Amino acid sequence: MIGVYKKMETYISRFSLLIQIMRWICGDSDKKEIDQISVLNAIELVNYFCNTARQVQAIILSTSALEQLSSIQKAIYQNLSKTFTTAEGLLVSKTYGMPERTFKDFLKLNLNVLFSKDKHGLYRKIN
């Protein structure tokens, strides 16, 4: 993500110029200087691209993380609901012989990779 941020840093000035020229063509501004409106719009555009890059990276990480799971972990993951509580996850893990502590460690190690935590005791599968 550092590479994306560095690239977007340089793109702000380019986007500002492009937005200013587009606004000038539409009669919304002049072309003497880049105004604050164009810069703020460029920042908003860069934020959009950064957020999209983070989402793509999360998908890539979760896909590769799924490939690295053991067969028991894969089975548990596949049998969990899209959203689940810790208690529901423990019931699923018990059917595969996974101890409670091991399941909780599995959740913790894969937080923000395979799972997101909506609130205390409530999880969501990312992919």
User: pLDDT tens for residues 11-63?
Assistant: 999 999 999 999 999 999 999 999 999 999 999 999 999 999 888 877 776 66
pLDDT at 63: 66
pTM value is: 0.53
Q: Which of 44, 23, 47 is nearest to 35 (CA)?
A: 23
Q: How far is it, in rounded angstroms, from Cα 95 to Cα 61?
A: 27
What is the CB neighbour count within 10 angstroms for residue 127?
A: 13
Q: How far is it, in rounded angstroms, from Cα 78 to Cα 100?
A: 18
The single-letter DSSP state of residue 32 is S
Report H helices in the chain: 2-25, 36-67, 71-79, 86-95, 100-109
Q: How far is it, in rounded angstroms, from Cα 35 to Cα 17?
A: 9
pLDDT at 54: 85
pLDDT digits (tens, 9 = 90+) for 86-118: 999 999 999 999 999 999 999 998 888 889 999
